[in-house]
């Protein structure tokens, strides 16, 4: 098939491109080579598969999108401005790139609806807000954000109205969506726009809710990217990783190879059409433990800097219920955290990174987004 991958020169996109080319598809990439991700004056990345066609252009540029869609059969929409904290003070930029960009792409897809066979869009676990929890009686509950009064008192765990601590459990796709950042709102836009347009025009669409992705090619100089890359950049520059709250907040870290696996399954299975799927491992680990492992593996003896402050909109726990994608698409996370981190660290040791975390932290603090 002829396949378009928007954002295909980036972290997830380039790995997806590799797999598609290796499967025999003809792949075109539309990517603006954003400076925050690729560096100033970036040209075609060395990691982009040589058999992939690269078209440099903005997802909001209708002529660029129209050109990229020529003779295309399937579309993977990976392009997005990524950064939860940054989105809260660059609101117009994030809405423009993500929501408006998706609208431009969809309009051009609809104009070619007789040719386009399927579209798969990258969504995000951030649209859930807090994850799912369980009461002491075993009832599943979906709480909103923790009150500032509790966070100011450094009561970071989630409690019910009676003050009893709630137990985090896997978050299913049915959980009500409570996005707590502009970025998360635009990712909700992505999946709802693609599914709505797909249903209206008879174009099969699939939304994949990625959990916390890590692996080679993640930008180490972008302070708004994934936590493993951020921590690695700090450690490589011999700085202590900065951790908010007490570090015991937990996430589901999924290797990029399993994200690719999910995309290929969504591409090939009709059972995926019109649906949303979590893509994670179903297992959680604390942010503090991730920082400790990276420090141990990169021979950095200093402990993480657990600052005790909290960021507006931060959640405590969220990890994936993967039963739907396992049952309906045959997905199973293949990369263990131990293997995945070894894979990441092998690549990290060959890289250089600019540590811009302090600058990003100041920008959040200056705007009152950390407390």
Residues with catalytic annotation? 183
Helix (H) / strand (E) element for 140: namely strand 140-141
Angle at 353 between CA 349 and CA 354, to 5 degrees: 160
The number of residues in the chain equals 371
Q: What is the full DSSP assignment across 260-308?
A: HHHHHHHHH-GGGTTEEEEES-S--EEHHHHHHHHHHHTT--SPPEE--
CA torsion angle for 112, 27, 127, 363 (degrees, to 10)?
A: -120
The structure tokens listed for 182 are 């502009």
> Terminus-to-terminus CA distance in the chain, angstroms?
51
Beta bridge partners of 27: 3
- Neighbouring CB atoms inside 10 A of 56's CB total 14
- Neighbouring CB atoms inside 10 A of 285's CB total 16
Residue for token pair 């930008």: 219
Beta bridge partners of 171: 320
Nearest to 98 by CA among 55, 59, 54: 59
Beta bridge partners of 286: 250
The structure tokens listed for 139 are 């009832």
Residue for token pair 């075609």: 44
C-beta separation of 99 from 64 below 8 A:
no
Radius of gyration of the chain (CA): 20
In the chain, how many H helices and how many E strands? 13, 17
């Amino acid at each position: 098939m002829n396949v378009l991958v928007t954002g295909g020169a980036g972290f997830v996109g380039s790995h997806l491109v590799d797999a598609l080319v290796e499967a025999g598809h003809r792949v075109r990439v539309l990517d603006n080579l954003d400076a925050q991700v690729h560096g100033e004056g970036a040209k075609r990345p060395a990691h982009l598969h040589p058999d992939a066609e690269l078209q440099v252009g903005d997802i909001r540029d209708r002529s660029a999108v129209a050109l990229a869609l020529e003779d295309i059969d399937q579309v993977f929409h990976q392009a997005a401005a990524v950064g939860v904290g940054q989105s809260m003070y660059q609101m117009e930029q994030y809405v423009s790139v993500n929501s408006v960009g998706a609208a431009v792409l969809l309009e051009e897809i609809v104009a070619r609806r007789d040719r386009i066979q399927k579209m798969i869009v990258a969504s995000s676990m951030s649209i859930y807000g807090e994850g799912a929890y369980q009461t002491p009686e075993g009832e599943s509950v979906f709480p909103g954000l923790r009150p500032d009064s509790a966070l100011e008192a450094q009561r970071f765990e989630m409690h019910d109205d009676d003050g009893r601590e709630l137990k985090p459990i896997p978050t299913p796709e049915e959980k009500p969506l409570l996005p707590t950042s502009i970025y998360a709102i635009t990712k909700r836009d992505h999946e709802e726009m693609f599914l709505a347009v797909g249903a209206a025009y008879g174009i099969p669409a699939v939304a994949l809710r990625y959990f916390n992705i890590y692996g080679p090619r993640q930008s180490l100089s972008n302070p708004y990217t994934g936590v493993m890359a951020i921590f690695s950049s700090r450690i490589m520059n011999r700085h202590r990783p900065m951790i908010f709250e007490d570090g015991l907040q937990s996430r589901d870290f999924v290797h990029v190879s399993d994200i690719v696996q999910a995309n290929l399954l969504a591409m090939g299975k009709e059972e995926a059409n019109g649906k949303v799927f979590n893509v994670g491992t179903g297992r959680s680990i604390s942010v503090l433990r991730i920082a400790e492992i990276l420090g141990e593996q990169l021979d950095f003896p200093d402990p993480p800097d657990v600052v005790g402050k909290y960021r507006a909109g931060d959640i405590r726990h969220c990890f994936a219920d993967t039963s739907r994608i396992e049952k309906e698409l045959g997905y199973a996370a293949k990369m263990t955290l131990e293997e995945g981190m070894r894979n990441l660290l092998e690549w990290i040791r060959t890289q250089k990174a600019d540590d811009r975390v302090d600058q990003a932290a100041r920008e959040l603090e200056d705007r009152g987004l950390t407390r």
